[in-house]
Structure 1
Amino acid sequence: MAKYEQKTKETNHDVVEFIERVDSPKKKEDAYKLLEIFEQTSGFEAKMWGPSIIGFGSYHYKYATGHEGDAPLVGFSPRKAKISLYFATGDTVREAILDRFGKHTSGKACVYINKVDDIDVDVLKELITQSITFLQNLYPDN
């Protein structure tokens, strides 16, 4: 059986160069706003993860199945359709916080927004902090 190769890894690509390649001027502006909010709130420098995720901090996970890898604690990606925000999965507190977040949709791992103006930035900061705390408690050996 082939060993699973993690697709999304931290890279040395430049975050600002990536943001500068975003087509939509409004999405580019929002990406810079999010960059500042995530860096200030998380206390971590932005790093590229894979070709399109801007991540902050990292943790090493290991599942009961033996699958393990590294991932950013929090992050975002200014995608063509929507902006994807990455927070911890499995955190029940996240759902309660999202009730106050503003206009968004949620998937298993992502929260999607159209623009920063649609959300409450203070609640975004709360989501960032909560996600980091949750993951650092779940994976304390990082």
Structure 2
Amino acid sequence: MAEAKTQPTRIGVSEFLGRVEPAAKRHEGEVLAALFGKVTGVEPVMWGPSIVGYGEYATVYDSGRRVTMCRTAFSPRKARHSLYLSCGTPAEEAQFAPLLARLGKHGRGKGCLYVNKLADIDLGVLEEMIGLSWRNSFERYPA
């Protein structure tokens, strides 16, 4: 059975963030790392070459395939940051709707938010969203 493409690595988070370009994205990556760390209370781990993840859970798909993934994460990309939050179920969507309305300029994908730059959003609202996502992940995937 094939393994998940995104797995924990031995790359240091500080080492990775230190290589992010341009410098403004590097700084914002450091801000995100501090914010995610403050909310989750856990040390970050690199997942694959570019995802900074917090916590982990294991799940088994209907096919029988077992995967391990981080509970919440971000990736500081050149064009925009990807923020991976547990907000994909209808109940979670309803919880996140009022926060998304207050967040500021962002895009959406399945299970993630896209933010061009942190100045476009309210970091206090993002902090609330990370906390909600963190709690939701434990309801969905108990430790």
In the alignment, the residues of structure 1 paired with residue 44 and residue 125 of structure 2 have an alpha-carbon distance, to the nearest angstrom, of 20
2:14 to 10, 13, 16: 16
Give the counterpart letter for 1:118 in structure 2: D
**Structure 1 consecutive aligned stretches of length 4 or more whose deviation exceeds 6 Å:** none
What is the SS of the residue equivalent to 1:98?
helix
String of CA shifts for 1:80-116, please: whole Å, max 9, x gaps.
Answer: 2111000013222223321211110000121000111
Matched residue type, 1:97: L
Residue of structure 2 in register with 1:127 after alignment: 129
Select between 51-60 and 93-102 the one with higher mean Cα deviation.
Answer: 93-102
- The equivalent of 1:26 in structure 2 is 24
Structure 1 vs Structure 2 CA RMSD: 1.2
* Aligned with residue 101 of structure 1, among 76, 100, 103: 103
Render the CA deviation track for 1:13-43: whole Å, top value 9, x for unaligned: 1111111111111101100111110101111
Q: Deviations over 1:52-95 (max 9, x none)?
A: 00001111122333232111111110112111000013222223
**Structure 1 segments unaligned to the other structure (5+ residues):** none
The alignment's TM-score, normalised by the length of structure 2, stands at: 0.91
1:69 aligns with 2:67: yes
Within a 5 Å distance, the mapping from 1:51-62 to structure 2 comes to 51-62=49-60
Secondary structure of the corresponding residue to residue 136 of structure 1? helix
**CA distance in structure 1 between the partners assigned to 2:42 and 2:96 by the alignment:** 20
Matched residue SS, 2:103: coil
